[in-house]
Amino acid sequence: MNKEPSPAAPDAAPGSAPFPHSAVLLAEVAALPGLPGVYRYFDAQGQLLYVGKARHLKKRVSSYFQRRHDGTRIGHMVGKIVRMQTTVVRSEAEALLLENNLIKTLAPKFNILFRDDKSYPYLKITGTRETCRSAGAKPIPMIAFPRMAYYRGAVDKRHNCYGPYPSAWAVKETITLLQKVFRLRTCEDTVFANRTRPCLLFQIKRCSGPCVDLIDSEAYGRDVAAAERFLRGETQAVLDELEARMRAHADKLEFEQAAEIRNQMSALSRVLHQQAMDNLCDKDVDVLAVRVQGGRACVNLAMVRGGRHLGDRPYFPAHVEDATQIQVLLEGDEAVNADPAERVAVQVLEAFIAQHYLGSAMPHTLVTSHAVGRPLLDALTEQTGARINAVHQPREHRRIWLEMAQKNADIALARLLAEEGSQQARTRALAEALGLPDDDLDGLRIECFDISHTAGESTQASCVVFEGHKMQNAQYRRYHIDGITGGDDCAAMRLVLLRRYGRIAELLRAESAQALRTEPDEALASAAAAEGTASSTEGSTDTSSGLPTGPRMPELVLVDGGKAQVSVAREVFQQLGLDLSLIVGVEKGEGRKVGLEELVFADAREKVYLGHDSAALMLVAQIRDEAHRFAITGMRAARARVRTGGSKLEDIAGVGPKKRARLLQRFGGVRGVAAASVADLCSVPGISAELAEAIYRALR
């Protein structure tokens, strides 16, 4: 999110810009229109640096290029801008929508980013399928007996979905409650259609047994309607209806039925009393509290649905410091007069609201810890078609909700800072234990390799990366290993190291050769300068060598294994001309117990045992375990593709699921089927001579 800057001088001469940008870029800035729109900055490598929106494109973009920001993050970003793209829209609301769509999809380097890698869960009440089950001589449509279920994904309008809920736990707790009170079924339709006697849920009074006609569709429908009213927050109406039904049964002397309804009311009342955050006035509300400390921020989102507080969930944005410095640049004098902590908190909160709600369903009321700008609320209102209100400084029950959200944000942020501090301490401890440079621990890069297979089948190698005090998932790589003897871990390790570092070694050798060739030229240039004959050069590249950049060499290479694997790594590094001191093997200790691992070195140093409580060993074990997890999940996926036949068998006409299963079971996998002769294939039941010939040809 960006606020509109104070007025800048839009018509400043391009040549007066404090950064040495190209004349083409500065001309583009000077030619921008005074209309709302979105702008994007790119560096020399084409990487997206920043996405912003503006009510007046020319004023906003010009403000980046009219001030000096030497030695700051914003100066670093502005100095890297070589290309710009802009998109003009009709209104500031449209610019806001486009800006946040681009931020979520492209993840710029200097924007505040909230990562939400999964959709929220819902509680779904279904039963709209027009399939039938047999009940004596008359088929009964299952639409008469809706089912409730946990659901995650796009909302299906054919069913009634309630939520979203902050977690799967909240959905499952609600399902358990509805089972206790209303006894709705949760079984799959296929199970429901083929039951001949009630299941265990009926025995423990969690289901009314519609699968075996222990309740008619009319009575079951009343329970479904009551459950849906409860989910919508109409709890008092549900209690009143249950009481009326109980009295009606009592008047008819149907005391067993009246007792059943009394038990339902008691269960519902207990739940309502346990839920201290209930309020029948607010049906659907989201409560948002933000805390900023130590360069990190946390937004805690608490959800109230149907008047019930369903729990909360913390979010931690990235690039907070970079984005806030950019905001200071844009606001100018307004930022100087504002409280820095409050300014950052508002910016983080508005970024969360924009990225979280734009493009998705949301409640009509937000309770926020800081005031939210009107343009953002107008954009949300335009999107939803209903007025969105943000309540700041709430009263009564809303104040209690906000105080709870603020407390949870404090706790979550303190936990994050403690974990990050612990991780930094582990990085420093490892650097000290292994004698690594400790002047730039934020840039310390560790790569770890592991090999995984099942008795030689589907061999996979993994490479995981630790940098910036955390695992860098986006830089993980898997390598399929072929052409070796099955189960030969050393051969697999040799191949993966050659593939990983062969290109880097070539680049390093080329850079060294280029440096040697340029040394005489540098000497001549120095002599010419001494004689007063200065020369100028045109054009430059990112590196003095002019060579393409690639993955850099890590400061430490961890190998999951002992002397054998380290010996192989040493041979590979000697072949490539790389530094042997980078290689460290993680050898399992006595009994393969965790905490007894020893470190084996490739440069003839003695083995080192760091101690089971060593922070350095904890970091090594964390990285090694992540490499093992990444390798084994890839291996299992590859193995499953082979054993289930992949696409090779599925694409053969005449080979259906049963025949494919028989073939795989007989020959142990696709490779076994491919190695079988036509006669062997014919020996499988259901495989004719013609089909065996077709399979034989297709797999060869």
**Is residue 228 a contact partner of residue 178, using CB atoms and an 8 Å limit?**
no
3-state SS string over 220-267?
Answer: HHHHHHHHHHHHCCCHHHHHHHHHHHHHHHHHCCCHHHHHHHHHHHHH
The Cα–Cα gap between 696 and 691 comes to 9
Lowest mean pLDDT among 10-14, 20-24, 33-37, 496-500: 10-14
Please name each of the domains of the chain with its CATH number.
Answer: 14-106 (3.40.1440.10), 121-274 (no CATH), 285-415 (3.30.420), 441-516+553-640 (3.30.420.340), 644-698 (1.10.150.20)
pLDDT tens for 663-676 read 877 876 777 788 88
Lowest mean pLDDT among 171-175, 307-311, 451-455: 307-311
Give the model's pLDDT for residue 127: 63
Instruction: Dig out the tokens for 174 from the structure.
Output: 């609600």
Instruction: Dig out the tokens for 336 from the structure.
Output: 């100087």
The Cα–Cα gap between 304 and 195 comes to 38
Residue 531 has pLDDT above 50, yes or no: no
Which candidate, 324, 327, 329, 298, places its Cα nearest to that of 313?
298
* β pairing state of 365-368 and 285-293: parallel
Instruction: Dig out the tokens for 679 from the structure.
Output: 């006669």
Give the model's pLDDT for residue 89: 87
- Measured in degrees and rounded to the nearest 5, phi and psi for residue 502 equal -60, -45
pLDDT tens for 591-608 read 667 777 889 898 888 888
Give the model's pLDDT for residue 306: 72
Lowest mean pLDDT among 19-23, 71-75, 183-187, 671-675: 71-75
Which helix (H) or strand (E) covers residue 191, if one does?
Answer: helix 189-193
Instruction: Dig out the tokens for 368 from the structure.
Output: 């926020």
The Cα–Cα gap between 407 and 389 comes to 23
Residue 16 has pLDDT above 80, yes or no: no
Instruction: Dig out the tokens for 40 from the structure.
Output: 């994007």
Residue 52 has pLDDT above 70, yes or no: yes
The Cα–Cα gap between 112 and 334 comes to 20
pTM of the model: 0.58
Residue 48 has pLDDT above 80, yes or no: yes
Lowest mean pLDDT among 18-22, 40-44, 411-415, 584-588: 18-22
Which candidate, 548, 550, 545, 549, places its Cα nearest to that of 514?
545
Distances (CA, A) of 265 to 182, 225, 237, 243, 259: 10, 15, 12, 8, 10
The Cα–Cα gap between 125 and 232 comes to 13
3-state secondary structure of 111: coil
